[in-house]
Chains A and B, each alone.
Chain A
């Protein structure tokens, strides 16, 4: 960069000199651009070497329809209009690439990596008619879509991390409210807070259950403990649930609630540091749905509050979110598998919805064996379809 980039000078004479220099430089660039432009005019469809030259004048692009193979393309935009302009490649309303502030008489170069499809290009002012950019499939892009590179998952993985942060924040907040209600001895409020706090936990269960120590402290079920409800290891959500719903009291729950707040806060911090490779998303989601189908529907977890259906619904919401995040990448490699998963998620949601009454979900012990079996089959079908995803996109 020229050290004189701060072009302002206190001396009028040198300013004038500078102006001259600028005009001179501008002339050279214009002349160069024009030479380039005329040289490129002779070639078919405005290509020059590897670059596609697009000239903008009077609110139109020349050429106005461009066709390039999928992959990396270079565009040289020549501004032959009398106003500074920006040039954009648009996918609907979304800007894929842009160059701003192209000065009249100047050109700028832009590199874009484009997927097959039809796009628009801007040609001057905001209301100027747009040109068309056809991107045709290429062997290279087809191969890339069939087996997406790790970098293709970066966006979805970051968004999954945001989802985990949002849910763990909600979990900590709701657990604090539960702790407050218990401390205040307010049974009704505590029950309400308990149900609220379960939902974010259930949404992120495929990742939360990876931390064995915290999982055993936050969500153990009495069935798996030697002395069941009397076991000192019986802590966390279900211990509180036992107090609130089986004993109808907040008595003695304060230390348990305080410990739960500490544990979900630790969970939040640990989830934040998780380094999740892309294959873990479908793996975690498939494993959880499989557990629902095989054991949770039969035995239940919420023995005292009987809110298992709300748990399942939150589990499926989390799984649906995980699948939606992978979709833009996965759909190119395995459209049929993705459509199948979408269909099974819809089935699982309808099966749950069918069990809902006017006041929400009924107590889980009122769901008969036939309905449980049907629900389990729907979950099993979903787990199987999710199980196919990683292989279909080349992740395992």
Chain B
């Protein structure tokens, strides 16, 4: 795991250092208006879905329905994970909705450890809904606030285009290792959502890049397809298999594809004149 992180951070540094700051002259900022508007609509739809799904999830937690709450955990998170480049712009909400125990001084026992992973800890590690109601209420209030803030937010264009790589870095940093959903092992659900979110951004700007660099587009699409095919093997009726079912071979395929995607997608901003 360490190896992967190391390779990734070093390679990203290298990419950042050599990345040319020249934009393709053909892409006018006006060409990006449509893709960014479409992405805002995608983000808004996901934020609304997050509110709806979180309601069902937190209702189950509060009603003490342990099995139902466990079953809803993975799918509820997906609409958050898909729009993470925008959701995490709000530092206060990202901290209260999606921080991990490591982000807090006293880890799992820290009173400020709240949100999805605190509830995950209760449901899966302690196998109980006991004392989770306040965290459920807080999570519901936080995602409602997030939805409202997203509606009012003018998306920073460089965060949208840069988001495609950010999502892949996120997968490489915390998903491939299985540390994000360490109690529930539903990492493959997050994984899938991160991929979909990244691919959405890529697909939206693809026509602008394609005419000048079709080789780049083919390579990135190929890697996205590879990830889709690999993840599809673990699809179940409800969602995805637990992370420990992922074979070493498939993990290697995914890790390689993620790293290449993170590296390639990190050049998108430069290609579109947004550095």
Q: List A residues at the B interface (Cβ < 8 Å).
A: 1-3, 5-10, 18, 21-22, 25-26, 29, 83-84, 88, 90, 93-95, 98, 100-103, 106, 108-109, 111, 122, 125-127, 150-151, 153-159, 161-162, 165, 275-277, 325, 328
Contact = CB atoms under 8 A, between A and B. Distances in A.
Contacts of A165: 37, 41
Interface in B35-57: 36-37, 40-41
Given A93-B92, A111-B16, A5 B4 contact: yes
A332 to B, nearest CB: 14
Contact of A158 (B5, B10, B40, B99): B40
Contacts of B256: 1, 3, 5-6
Contacts of B99: 126
Interface of A is mostly: mixed
B91 A88 contact: yes
Nearest to A103: B5
Contacts, number: 140
A275 B30 contact: yes
Contacts of A277: 30
Nearest to B158: A113
Q: Is the interface of B mostly helix, strand, loop or mixed?
A: helix
Interface residues of B, number: 58
B89 A94 contact: yes
Among A10, A127, A276, the most chain B Cβ lie within 10 Å of the Cβ of A127
B251 A159 contact: no
A276 B105 contact: no
A22 B156 CA distance: 37
A109 B16 CA distance: 8
Interface stretch (B58-66, B74-82, B169-177, B186-194): B169-177
A345 B89 CA distance: 31
Given A150-B28, A155-B36, A155-B156, A29 B10 contact: yes
Nearest to B12: A108
B33 A276 contact: yes
Contacts of B16: 109, 111
Contacts of A126: 95, 99, 103-104, 112
Nearest to A329: B154
Nearest to B39: A158
A21 B7 CA distance: 12
B112 A154 contact: no
A25 B6 contact: yes
Nearest to B17: A109
B248 A8 contact: yes
Contact of B37 (A3, A151, A158): A158
20 contacts: A1-B259, A1-B260, A2-B7, A6-B248, A6-B255, A7-B1, A7-B3, A7-B255, A9-B248, A10-B248, A93-B92, A95-B89, A100-B169, A150-B28, A154-B29, A154-B32, A159-B154, A161-B33, A162-B41, A276-B33
